[in-house]
Amino acid sequence: MSVQAENDLIEAVSKAIENKRGDIAVDGINCLLHKKQAFPTPLAISAVKCWIVNYSQSAHIQYEVVEIIKYLQSISDADVNDVCWIEFQLLKVLDHLQGAAPVMLERRLSTDPKFFHEMLTKAYIPESEIGKPRNLTEEQKRLASHIFGLLHHWQTPPGSTKSETMNENDFKTWVEEVKTLSEESGHWAIAQQLIGHTLTNSPAGIVGLLSYPEVAKVLDSKMFEEMRRGFSIALFNSRGVYGFSHGEEEQKLATFYRDHAQKYELAGFPRIAAELRSVADSYQRDSERESARDPYGN
């Protein structure tokens, strides 16, 4: 298609969309991007939407779709609602594992407490109903699973700015509104865990969080034990896949967390320090066990 429409790719993309050929439309937009040829932003959005509606099961062109989404996420004139819709449809592709993420959706979660709470209540049942039978339709189950994936992979802490810093006042305001909404609906414990989970990511994280004492103060609060629980669980899970090192890597991690526990203690955040010591102690035990283990199982 790119050869045939070399002199008028924009018109070719428009025709492809009219004929519901999302595969051709996406290919044309990628050609325009490659040629660095200007084109209307709504055209790219329409091309991706057309592909989603008609060709979303075609894995061979997913890479091209992701490249267009990355482009839309990077420009200022893309309609946020349109890009959020696209990201939501393709969450399984935008999972942080292949260099792509639902940037707009995560930013909306981090800036709009009502949107975060809406997603929370669709993915999780109220704490008072845990263990009770529920009659959900297949569509409700599918939607809950889909949103669960979005929240589980969420890596943009509340209060994050586009310049990759944190606005401490925005963070505190966001948390207070989410607390009010979640306590009313019976979701405050899981909301805290999700908040703690995302605080392990930049611009927060173990190192960055010390630069934002008002954020750290919230995490350290006696009232927010579940938030710290989510924080420590995420730290445990952040290691990912690893190989056998006779306990050396585990010892390095134990030292890393112990050193930072001391920094948080000195900064006046004893509860965060306690969580980090717990993580350090766990890695210390792993190190001792691994150092005594025969890697060949003999």
Q: What is the pLDDT of residues 231-256, one digit of tens each?
A: 999 998 887 656 667 788 889 999 99
pLDDT in the model for residue 7? 57
pLDDT in the model for residue 135? 82
Rounded CA gap, 55 and 123, in Å?
27
CB neighbour burial string for 89-123, b if at least 16 within 10 angstroms, e if fewer: bbbebbeeeeebbbbbbbbbbbbebeebbebbbeb
Name residue 160's beta-bridge partners.
Answer: 166
Domains of the chain: which residue ranges? 1-101, 102-238, 240-298
Q: How many of the other CB atoms lie within 10 Å of CB of 53?
A: 11
pLDDT digits (tens, 9 = 90+) for 118-146: 999 999 999 888 877 878 888 888 999 99
Rounded CA gap, 208 and 264, in Å?
12
Rounded CA gap, 157 and 266, in Å?
24
Residue 82: both structure tokens together: 């349109």
pLDDT in the model for residue 296? 57
Q: Indicate whether this model's pTM tops 0.95.
A: no
Alpha-helical (H) ranges within the chain are 9-18, 22-35, 41-55, 62-74, 80-89, 103-111, 113-123, 138-153, 168-185, 188-198, 205-208, 213-220, 225-237, 248-266, 270-291
